[in-house]
Structure 1
Amino acid sequence: MIAATKDAKNLNIAYIGGGSRGWAWGLMSDLATESELGGTVRLYDINKQAAENNAKIGESLKGRVDVVSSWNYEASDSLQQALTGADFIVISILPGTFDEMHSDVHLPEEYGIYQSVGDTAGPGGLVRALRTIPIYAELAEQIRDYAPDAWVINYTNPMTLCTRTLYEVFPGIKAIGCCHEVFGTQKLLTHVVEELLGEPAPDRREIKVNVLGINHFTWLDKASYKQHDLIPLYREFVDRHFQDGFEAKGTGNWLNDHFASAQRVKFDLFRKYGVIAAAGDRHLAEFMPHSWYLKDKETVHSWKFGLTTVDWRKSNKVRLEEQGSKLASGEEAFELKPTGEEGVEMIKALLGMTELVTNVNMPNTGQMDDLPLGAVVETNAVFGRDAVQPIHAGKLPPALHAHIARHVYNQEAILRAALDKDRSEALRAFQNDPLVSLSPDQAEELFDRMLANTKAYLPGWE
């Protein structure tokens, strides 16, 4: 029971994937500006040099006038060293390399299958899961052996199956999967308030929502601001902006931002089902039938979102590596930027310092109706001292629930296939994905080619 007696100024955080140039830097920034917490962050990464660079960056924050907390940063030599004595564990890793991800995303294009992200659903998401699940199975065993009482905050995709694997291998784990996609939809709803109620756009936390679904295929069937029901207002907002889409001022344009969209997929799904799709368009499109939004590049363009290429990710990685070297050497100063993530707020709530209600991914214990118990779902939960209690969210409309259930059962099949190294089970899940609109023979050919390209991460597969 770490939160009952733990000194909030003497915490131990293990960061798995601590060589990250995105999530790790963000955590450093958020911790630096939280005066009520302090302690040691142990950074572990298979790329030891990257973790050592991040330790130098973290240590460089000491003594700065804009830093209000005291943290020590260390690069750990082993996973065991990072985990031992940890109060909290943050996991943010890249399962494989961008070469494997290039196959995940772009090889299916030879078969007419386009993916806007390729890390959760579709053929890319499935193959990524097959190489990620063994890694997470090992992490679960290590956490069980060296930090069984720690709270685990996972940011890695595929979020659902990463979290599901942790609980499957170590049922006593205290783990949550965290995703910011719902935050973006709350932010969109602040523009509904601004445009239709004539009030200044509020903080997104003032938008109260009921969250239900699975990660990246998440929905809101209730949304309110003060005394206002936002569902009918959102319907009017969608009608106003459906044709041209909506992009808030200062947010960039979907044509020149790899992660932006004009919300047209989100608007179309609201028209179809009457509830608010709460993930970004790039993710939502991958859960729906192939012909809807990802039939070809022209179709994608008409819905005003983009296909994020792995070549861009590779070039961005080089840029971030160069920046990391400059930050570690002191050639460039580390800029504190609030991430908008809630990891630090979660830590405070789990220590009993505050209470928090937010969306998380956890095994279904009844918070979502008519879905298998144990399957990981995304709903709101109440955080308190050493406890996270999911809130009952109900059930989505029948036509939409059918889509959700299909993916849930497919994810369970992928989990079993990965743990059992069962090619036949994995192939059945692959062929059952809505984006894989191929003949059985074509699907198997693509599956085998993708599997061959990731075989280095599939130990024991025949």
Structure 2
Amino acid sequence: MSFEGETRSDLTIAYIGGGSRGWAWGLMSDLAMEPALGGTVRLYDINRDAAEQNAVIGNRLSEREDVQGKWRYETSGTLQEALSGADFVIISILPGTFWEMASDVHLPEEYGIYQAVGDTVGPGGLVRALRTIPLYVEIAEALRDYAPDAWVINYTNPMTLCTRTLYETFPGVKAIGCCHEVFGTQHLLAQMVERKLGAGPVSRHDIRVNVLGINHFTWIDSASYKGIDLLPLYREFAEEHHAEGFEGAKKGHWLNDHFASAQRVKLDLFLKFGVIAAAGDRHLAEFMPGDKYLKNPETVREWKFSLTTVEWRENNRQSLLEKGSRLAAGEEPFIVKTTGEEGIDMIKSLLGMGDLVTNVNLPNRGQMEGLPLGAVVETNAVFRRGEVRPVFAGKLPDAVHDRVARHVWNQELTLKAALAKDATLALQAFESDPLVRIPHDKAEELFRRMLKNTSDYLPGWRI
């Protein structure tokens, strides 16, 4: 991929959720490394102090001589102020607080339902969606009114329903849902190629894949390296490592890293279905029946991945708060390094600085066979000047397609329930989720309790 052409130093990026201590710092780092782009980043956040701190950090970074991309960071007090005249909009927000997240993730455990992440599907993913959708309706309306021509890059989960809400509310929006989970599977395939074929070093960019499915339940039915079909090789690899898992040079790393795994779920799914599951094990497990990979903590441990607790997230947040204070005060240097995300490459492609093919979440316009039109799906797409065009991906094998379709219909029902503020519809979606394998009365009791715990974000609902 080559990015050749004019530079742009007059861009305006609006960052909704600009007080972030993860994605925002990553964006600053990627922008700092890109000499072809510059301009203004407007940081908007309901926590204005956090956004102002990030503005200090970003401006301090841009003053450094070793930084190639020069940007001015400023805060905005309203969505209108942030969005007006923006060329690009990035959305990365936390819908609610850790208190609501604790209810999402841990209250179902009282009913024997375990979730590794709780932000996409399962009881936690659904309730998170119910409080996120109203926020995205507001964002979509603001985009329509103040930045109708801007390109929008969404990183917030639940990815599918966030992106879907933008298009449902403002059909003319130019929004893309971006997720790096497929990249991890390309890295795994690259490691496999190095070991099985003696090649190397192999980059994930050397692995060509056809992507199809929905976010966090994404699949690869075609993979190649320099023209070599990798599926037969992956079958050998899966059979070799299925029992113990594959960890490369980081053996046992999953025991200490909530985001790591030994890939056992991924390998198991391939041996069952014959296509490559292309997300992290924590996410993949949540889309399958709860008695398989998430039966209890002991089962999770056997499959060699982790349940990410909200307590860990709270502790991590505290360490990031302390780091933010040090960065803003100049007491700690900002380490500039690539994040591996492709947001900057997408921006450059849309500006005409080279074409890009990568996986994104977009409404189905026929790129996924057998799934409803308009539902958000994840496939490859071609980015070029002023357009994003989905690549026709085909259809998954029936056994996988049926599982994906079930979640698609559940997501559509969740959206309908959220927009109508209808708890009866939401309960139907709740009970249809494969993780909710408990009697109706217990499912309804759990649902009502979770809904009550997030009621501050559900104005107008009868709970």
TM-score range, shorter chain: over 0.9
Residue 222 of structure 1 aligns to a residue whose secondary structure is strand
How far apart, CA to CA, are the structure 2 residues paired with 1:9 and 1:127? Answer: 41
How far apart, CA to CA, are the structure 1 residues paired with 2:248 and 2:327? Answer: 32
Q: Does 1:444 align with 2:444?
A: yes
Residue 176 of structure 1 aligns to a residue whose secondary structure is strand
CA deviation profile, 1:286-342 (whole Å, cap 9, x unmatched): 000011100111111110000000000001111101100110111111111210000
The equivalent residue for 1:318 is 318
Residue 254 of structure 2 aligns to a residue whose secondary structure is coil
Deviation of 1:251 after TM superposition, in Å, equals 7.9
Please report the TM-score for the alignment, with normalisation by the length of structure 1: 0.98
Structure 1 segments (4+ residues) deviating >2 Å: none
Residue 66 of structure 2 aligns to a residue whose secondary structure is coil
Is the 1:252–1:260 Cα contact (8 Å) retained in structure 2? Answer: no
The equivalent residue for 1:283 is 283
The equivalent residue for 1:112 is 112
The equivalent residue for 2:73 is 73
* Unmatched segments (≥5 aa) in structure 2: none
The equivalent residue for 2:329 is 329
The equivalent residue for 2:190 is 190
The equivalent residue for 1:57 is 57
CA deviation profile, 1:92-147 (whole Å, cap 9, x unmatched): 00000011000000000000000000000100000000000000000000000000
The equivalent residue for 1:242 is 242
CA deviation profile, 1:369-401 (whole Å, cap 9, x unmatched): 010000000000000011000000000000110
Is the 2:6–2:36 Cα contact (8 Å) retained in structure 1? Answer: no
The equivalent residue for 2:376 is 376
Is the 1:193–1:201 Cα contact (8 Å) retained in structure 2? Answer: no
How far apart, CA to CA, are the structure 2 residues paired with 1:320 and 1:310? Answer: 15
How far apart, CA to CA, are the structure 2 residues paired with 1:252 and 1:324? Answer: 31
Letter in 2 for 1:156: T
How far apart, CA to CA, are the structure 2 residues paired with 1:52 and 1:330? Answer: 15
Residue 61 of structure 1 aligns to a residue whose secondary structure is helix
How far apart, CA to CA, are the structure 2 residues paired with 1:8 and 1:92? Answer: 24
CA deviation profile, 1:184-220 (whole Å, cap 9, x unmatched): 0000000110111011131101100000000000000
The equivalent residue for 1:88 is 88
Is the 2:32–2:62 Cα contact (8 Å) retained in structure 1? Answer: no
CA RMSD of aligned residues (A): 1.1
Moved more, 250-259 or 363-372: 250-259
How far apart, CA to CA, are the structure 1 residues paired with 2:167 and 2:24? Answer: 24
CA deviation profile, 1:163-182 (whole Å, cap 9, x unmatched): 00000000000000000000
The equivalent residue for 1:135 is 135
How far apart, CA to CA, are the structure 2 residues paired with 1:141 and 1:280? Answer: 33
Residue 107 of structure 1 aligns to a residue whose secondary structure is helix
Letter in 2 for 1:389: R
How far apart, CA to CA, are the structure 2 residues paired with 1:251 and 1:68? Answer: 37
Is the 1:6–1:351 Cα contact (8 Å) retained in structure 2? Answer: no
How far apart, CA to CA, are the structure 2 residues paired with 1:333 and 1:392? Answer: 45
Deviation of 1:231 after TM superposition, in Å, equals 0.4
The equivalent residue for 1:435 is 435
Is the 2:152–2:176 Cα contact (8 Å) retained in structure 1? Answer: yes
The total of aligned residue pairs comes to: 458
How far apart, CA to CA, are the structure 2 residues paired with 1:82 and 1:52? Answer: 13
Moved more, 225-234 or 64-73: 64-73
How far apart, CA to CA, are the structure 2 residues paired with 1:7 and 1:182? Answer: 30
The equivalent residue for 1:144 is 144
Please report the TM-score for the alignment, with normalisation by the length of structure 2: 0.98
| Aligned sequence identity (%) | 70
How far apart, CA to CA, are the structure 2 residues paired with 1:116 and 1:250? Answer: 21
* Unmatched segments (≥5 aa) in structure 1: none
Letter in 2 for 1:119: D
How far apart, CA to CA, are the structure 1 residues paired with 2:94 and 2:123? Answer: 17
Is the 2:179–2:360 Cα contact (8 Å) retained in structure 1? Answer: yes
Deviation of 1:72 after TM superposition, in Å, equals 0.3
Q: Does 1:123 align with 2:123?
A: yes
Deviation of 1:252 after TM superposition, in Å, equals 6.6
1:343-362, aligned counterparts within 5 Å?
Answer: 343-362=343-362
How far apart, CA to CA, are the structure 1 residues paired with 2:182 and 2:251? Answer: 17
The equivalent residue for 1:272 is 272
The equivalent residue for 2:456 is 456
How far apart, CA to CA, are the structure 2 residues paired with 1:66 and 1:356? Answer: 27
Is the 2:219–2:276 Cα contact (8 Å) retained in structure 1? Answer: yes
Residue 10 of structure 1 aligns to a residue whose secondary structure is strand
The equivalent residue for 1:386 is 386
How far apart, CA to CA, are the structure 2 residues paired with 1:441 and 1:304? Answer: 33
How far apart, CA to CA, are the structure 2 residues paired with 1:436 and 1:6? Answer: 53
How far apart, CA to CA, are the structure 2 residues paired with 1:177 and 1:211? Answer: 14
Deviation of 1:63 after TM superposition, in Å, equals 3.2
Moved more, 357-366 or 237-246: 237-246
Deviation of 1:239 after TM superposition, in Å, equals 1.0
The equivalent residue for 1:411 is 411
Moved more, 27-36 or 75-84: 75-84
